[in-house]
Amino acid sequence: MSTVSGNKSGRLSTRAAKSTSDKPQGISTLAVHAGEARQKALNSITDPIVMASTFTFENTQSIIDYIEQDQERGEYGRYGVPGERVVEKKIAALEGAEEGVLFSTGMAAFVGLLNTRLKSGDEIVFFDECYHRSRDYCRSWLSRYGVVTREVKMGDYGAMEAAINDNTRLLVSESPTNPHLSIVDLERFAAIGKKYDVETIIDATIATPYNLQPISYGVDYVMHSATKYMSGHNDLLAGIVLGSKEKLDEVRKLRGIMGSINTPHNCFLLERGLKTFELRMQRHNENGLAVARYLESHPRVERVLYPGLESHPYHEVARSTMRGFGGLVTFEVKDADWKQTAAIVDAAKLARIAPSLGGVETLIEQPLVMSYFERTPEQRAEFGITDNMIRLACGIENAEDIIADLSQCLEA
């Protein structure tokens, strides 16, 4: 199996954080232990699933102490459940962030963050290759409240700078983007934010903190759909915003009003999924690279988009900032119309036909059909979605088996 990646900048050390003894701890150590109390309720080694909508006080004085001393405690379920705090601290430790606020979905996290930062008359600037629902939210909903969204071509930092004016409050991008897997030069992106005193957000769902740590480049907020690699088992939805405690204070307050929190059972599953985070990411990275290399050498494949390949337009910046390149691989089939492309997807025996990514099961989909079927050809062209495009989200199965499946699909 090929070794994974470069990370020449050394920003991503394998020793991600410091423990109390000041001895740095590794990613898996953090994934297993960070955020958890050493001694838990009923001496259980795992965190309990606390099924409670409200939390009791011993007496009136304890309510007054709670208010006056600003104690960390949620007295009512809408302000969060105990399991959420554990997961927030664990992910913050993995990300190298001071604080995290967990939401019920990735989109709830995005909406929660934007709504606390923006008011009527404000503007945001987007790199255009972003999750289509994030774009929908800004274009169709934020616009109702007088927030202006400006989109510039992915990777055009000059255009991003030119789009900034006195009303600009946020610069937003994904990295890598989906499905093109373009990579943001985080140093430049954060520097533009600092230069104009505009906050920056990176949706790093597809990278995860294993492969990329945007905060170390001076990005203000990182968000993830924890539905994907964080939970890792295609069995729950969750989202998280990470950044400084001060900046996230308002986000937490708004979440308490929105009530977009997670169920106790969801938190349990997410915490459990995170325990194997590093192991899973290592395998996703290996599988992604092996599959991308295989596809690149296949005569029926016209083009492969994977940042770990030398042929990818953003390979250099990916190599210098990322530990590995994840399990998502996008490719285009030579001389195929959308129906011939669909036949290749339909021939899959191992990969399952589904949206989403980041779970243990390999998923395959045709972006044109799965996410852009109702859009016009012009809109698809604008989003860079071609008829012959297939997106594969490699799971953690053995690479040889994923490749064998693709091989028989491409022969179909």
For binding to ligand PLP (CB under 6 A), which residues are involved?
A: 105-107, 131, 174, 178, 203, 205-206, 225, 227-228, 237, 239
**84 vs 174, beta carbon nearer ligand PLP:** 174
d(CA 154, CA 306): 16
**112 vs 308, beta carbon nearer ligand PLP:** 112
**5 vs 177, beta carbon nearer ligand PLP:** 177
Token pair 């979440």 in the structure block, residue: 255
d(CA 323, CA 307): 11
Q: What is the DSSP pairing of strand 199-203 with strand 221-225? A: parallel
Sign of CA dihedral 227, 231, 232, 234: negative
Q: Shortest gap between Cβ of 223 and ligand PLP (angstroms)?
A: 8
**105 vs 386, beta carbon nearer ligand PLP:** 105
Q: What angle do CA 102, 200, 120 make, to 5 degrees?
A: 85
Distances in Å between the Cα of 281 and the Cα atoms of 154, 286, 354 are 26, 8, 20
Q: Shortest gap between Cβ of 212 and ligand PLP (angstroms)?
A: 13
Q: Shortest gap between Cβ of 176 and ligand PLP (angstroms)?
A: 9
In 3D space, the residue among 43, 5, 12, 44 whose CA is nearest the CA of residue 27 turns out to be 12
Distances in Å between the Cα of 392 and the Cα atoms of 12, 201, 280, 348 are 26, 26, 17, 11
Check residue 2 and report its DSSP letter: P
Tokens of 73: 């405690």
Token pair 């954080």 in the structure block, residue: 17
Q: Shortest gap between Cβ of 316 and ligand PLP (angstroms)?
A: 22
**87 vs 164, beta carbon nearer ligand PLP:** 87
Q: Shortest gap between Cβ of 291 and ligand PLP (angstroms)?
A: 19
Q: Shortest gap between Cβ of 312 and ligand PLP (angstroms)?
A: 18
**107 vs 164, beta carbon nearer ligand PLP:** 107
Q: Shortest gap between Cβ of 93 and ligand PLP (angstroms)?
A: 21
Residue nearest ligand PLP, Cβ-based? 106
d(CA 191, CA 238): 30
In 3D space, the residue among 340, 320, 255, 325 whose CA is nearest the CA of residue 293 turns out to be 325
Q: Shortest gap between Cβ of 131 and ligand PLP (angstroms)?
A: 4
Q: Shortest gap between Cβ of 207 and ligand PLP (angstroms)?
A: 9
**236 vs 333, beta carbon nearer ligand PLP:** 236
**308 vs 358, beta carbon nearer ligand PLP:** 358
Phi–psi pair at 138, nearest 5 degrees: -70, -45
**152 vs 237, beta carbon nearer ligand PLP:** 237
Q: Is 243 helix (H, G, I), strand (E, B) or coil?
A: strand
d(CA 363, CA 354): 6
